[in-house]
Amino acid sequence: MDLKEKLTILTESAKYDVSCSSSGSNRVSDKTGIGNAASCGICHSFASDGRCHSFASDGRCISLLKILMTNSCIYDCKYCLNRKSNDIKRAVFTPEEICEVTINFYRRNYIEGLFLSSGIIKSPDYTMELMIKAISMLRNKYHFGGYIHAKAIPGASEMLLKVLGNLVDRLSANIELPTEKGLKLLAPNKNKGDVSKIMHYVKDNRSRHYVPAGQSTQMIVGASQESDLDIMEKSSHMYNKYDLKRVFYSAYVPVNKDSLLPSIEKPPLRRENRLYQADWLLRFYNFKVSDLLDKDNPNFNILIDPKADYALRHIDEFPKEINKCSYYDLLKVPGIGVTSAKRIISCRRNFVIKFDDLKRMGVVLKRAKYFITCSGKYFTNYDFFRKDFIEHNLILEDNFSKASNVMQLSLFNE
Ligand code: SF4
């Protein structure tokens, strides 16, 4: 099999893993090698030719070549295209081929880094040794200084984890499903303990030289029975315990037929989108999982985003007075983000803020107006400050402006 055919097979097989992103790594080439790693938060989308175009928060674009070392696998995870029971074309890159592809793509300016994952061939140790061989060659023989994100293979030895972490910028170990029960059912060869061990080790040993860009993980959404509450509690736990940079949520893509899998036609993209929105609230808006979901209310409202849903369920705590309420109360208002909340706090020291001023501060007034007052004034007659009225308008707005646009984050759309 020639290299081009392998590349086609192994980039196609890699597309279901969304746990790749880059951030926080600063390494400048010493002029004897090629490639720098950039320090910036990045999200990304993937082109069908295997390129991953990643957009940093500062507008810089980073592209990662996303490939599998092999799509052969000794495991049989029910939801995975590459599971051993599937009759698909298999291929294995040699370490030399990984280097060849990466360096050629880098020289042609197609990519600035590599995301390397793998199915499990022979054993976790054997697989990770192959990956280490490739990445080590890339760093030491080709002096490649660009960004590298590798998937750590659960079950591989600590010694190999140590070596791999010293070669790459970011590591991820995919938790895949939020509960042990789900894992046992759909990925019986895997166990949660192996993933936690990796996360523990990376957290304890992280430094400027060891996994400088931190670790991330991925959870599959909708393949098993777990609720959004189960998923968010797991994420919150991992952010706190292992200092994760990101949890990626990947809507289950129905690629296999199996009685244990849900029979759905399309991936639950809207649900995936709600989880990303809620994850953002946890990380940047001081929300707790218990603010958003509870046992009586274990799943996000598909029709309305989690912050608006929170505001409607706590309507008695609104409207918030823009000229008086705290920074954290401002962050609870739909349509007010971190930047606009900071601007409001700063501006109101100098003048009394009116509705007209808010747009200039970056507030999305068409959402925020329902939940605020400016010097005691509501945007319209106070009789309209009613949960049913606001909910109706927000759902209309959300569905008109976004329904046709919902798409899975980080898959193969340019
Ligand atoms: S370990 Fe499971 S999820 Fe990973 S490649 Fe193998 S079958 Fe797929």
Tell how far the Cα of 337 is from the centroid of ligand 1, in angstroms: 38
Higher pLDDT, 386 or 18: 386
Tell which residue, 291, 285, 176, has the closest CA to residue 234: 176
Cβ atoms 280, 234 nearer than 8 A: no
Report pLDDT for 399.
67
Strands (E), 345-413: 372-373
Distance from chain centroid for Cα 97: 28
82 lines ligand 1 (CB under 6 A): yes
Most confident of 19-23, 176-180, 320-324, 392-396: 320-324
Ligand 1 pocket test target in 82, 189, 190 with most atoms within 8 Å of CB = 82
How far is Cα 115 from Cα 138, in angstroms, rounded to an integer?
13
Decide: 146 and 34 in contact? Cβ < 8 Å: yes
Instruction: Tell me the CATH number for domain 3-292.
Output: 3.20.20.70
Q: Which atom of ligand 1 is nearest to the CA of 71?
A: 5
Kindly give the distance from the C-alpha atom of residue 202 to the centroid of ligand 1, in angstroms, as a whole number. Answer: 22
Distance in Å, CA 75 to ligand 1 centroid: 6
Locate 142 and state its tokens: 């080709």
CA dihedral 281, 285, 290, 293 (to 10 degrees): -30
Quick one: which atom of ligand 1 is closest to the CA of 76?
7
Protein residue with least CA distance to atom 5, ligand 1: 119
Residue 194 near ligand 1, beta carbon < 6 Å:
no
**What is the DSSP secondary structure assignment for residue 118, as one 8-state letter?**
-
Q: Is the CB of 77 under 6 A from ligand 1?
A: yes
**Overall average pLDDT of the 255-259 stretch:** 88
CB of 390 closer than 6 angstroms to any ligand 1 atom: no
> Rounded to the nearest whole angstrom, what is the distance from the C-alpha of residue 412 to the centroid of ligand 1?
20
pLDDT for position 407: 44
Beta strands in 263-374 (DSSP E): 320-321, 372-373
CA 143 → CA 30, 35, 81, 114, 140, distances in Å? 10, 9, 34, 14, 5
| pLDDT attached to residue 380 | 86
- pLDDT of 406 > 80? The answer is no
Residue 78 beta carbon below 6 angstroms from any ligand 1 atom: no
Stated as kind and residue range, the H or E segment containing 101 is helix 95-107
Strand pairing class (246-251; 215-221): parallel
The answer to whether the CB of 127 is under 6 A from ligand 1 is no
Q: Give the whole-angstrom CA distance, residue 390 versus residue 397.
A: 11
Q: Is the pLDDT of residue 102 over 90?
A: yes
Expressed in angstroms and rounded, the spacing between residue 123 Cα and the centre of ligand 1 is 12
Distance 147 CA to ligand 1 centre (A): 24
Q: Tokens 């999305």, residue?
A: 364
Mutation probe of ligand 1 site: the residue of 73, 81, 151, 255 with most atoms within 8 A of C-beta: 73
114 - beta bridge partners?
65, 148
d(CA 393, CA 304): 10
Please write the tens of the pLDDT for every residue from 124-157.
999 999 999 999 999 999 999 999 999 999 999 9
pLDDT of residue 1: 83
Give the start-to-end residue ranges of the domains of the chain: 3-292, 306-405
Ligand 1 pocket: which of 71, 74, 77 to mutate (most atoms <8 Å of CB)? 77
Residues 6+ apart with CB under 8 A from 403: none
Window from 11-20, 52-61, 209-218, 224-233 with minimum mean pLDDT:
52-61
Q: Is the minimum distance from the CB of 120 to ligand 1 under 6 angstroms?
A: yes
> Does residue 195 line the site of ligand 1, with CB under 6 A?
no
Q: Is 73 in the pocket of ligand 1 (CB under 6 A)?
A: yes
279/228 Cα distance (integer angstroms): 11
Bigger pLDDT: 138 vs 65? 138
For the stretch 222-235, what's the b/e string if a residue is b when 16 or more beta carbons lie within 10 angstroms of its beta carbon? bbbebebbbbbbbb
Q: How far apart are CA 267 and CA 264, in angstroms?
A: 7
Phi, psi of 115 (to 5 degrees): -115, 115
Residue that the structure tokens 């507030």 belong to: 363
Cα separation of 65 and 112, whole Å?
A: 8
Closest residue (by CA) to atom 4 of ligand 1?
119
- Cβ-proximal residues to 136 (8 Å cutoff; 6+ apart), any chain: 163, 167
- Ligand 1: which atom is nearest the Cα of residue 84? 7
Question: Mean pLDDT over all residues of the chain?
Answer: 86
Beta pairing, strands 320-321 & 372-373:
parallel
Please give the distance, rounded to the nearest whole angstrom, from the Cα atom of residue 84 to the centre of ligand 1.
Answer: 8
User: pLDDT value at position 383?
Assistant: 82
Q: Which amino acid residue places its CA nearest to atom 7 of ligand 1?
A: 83
* Residue 407, φ and ψ in degrees, nearest 5: -145, 155
Range of lowest pLDDT (80-84, 107-111, 209-213): 107-111
Global pTM value: 0.84
